[in-house]
Amino acid sequence: MAKGKPAITVVGTEGSVDARNQIKTQRLQGGVQGSETMSYFQNPEPNTYVPLGLPFTQSPVGIPVAKTEEGAKLRDAVKGAIERLQAKGIYDALITKYGLVNNMLKPPSINQGK
């Protein structure tokens, strides 16, 4: 209890949707959400959530392909397509449109997750 304030109670939820529902119904006063979902839900549910600062983690996601010769060809084709989208500015426009600027990954990589 810092500065005479009550301790925070941590409550587990069944997932992202449950956490948001509990905030909306005032059973919870705050929650931790991924930046990729929070930016999305601020559009269909305006004035419902207020993000506090910038994301404190990164969650890169990938596109898995089979570990075969055909999979390698598909992997390279997808990577090339993403590189072309980035070179033309389309990638940045989409990232900005959907509020995912903090999740931008440039240049695209292969097997570089941390």
What are the residue boundaries of the structural domains of the chain, listed by start?
A: 8-57, 59-114
**Confidence category of residue 113, pLDDT binned at 50, 70, 90:** low
- Say which amino acid occupies 110: I
Give the per-residue pLDDT at 1.
61
Q: Are the C-beta atoms of 28 and 14 separated by less than 8 Å?
A: no
Determine the Cα–Cα distance for residues 19 and 80; give it in Å rounded to an integer: 38
pLDDT at 87 over 70: yes
Phi/psi of residue 60, each to 5°?
-65, 140
pLDDT at 53 over 90: no
Determine the Cα–Cα distance for residues 20 and 38; give it in Å rounded to an integer: 10
pLDDT at 77 over 90: yes
* C-alpha dist (Å) from residue 42 to 1, 27, 35, 105: 32, 19, 11, 22
Determine the Cα–Cα distance for residues 63 and 104; give it in Å rounded to an integer: 15
Where do we find the tokens 């898995």? 64
Mean pLDDT of 84-101: 93
Q: Are the C-beta atoms of 110 and 75 separated by less than 8 Å?
A: yes
State CA 93 to chain mean position distance.
16
pLDDT at 114 over 70: no
Give the per-residue pLDDT at 81.
96
- pLDDT tens for residues 14-43? 988 899 899 999 999 988 888 788 777 877
Q: Has this prediction a pTM greater than 0.75?
A: no
Give the per-residue pLDDT at 67.
94
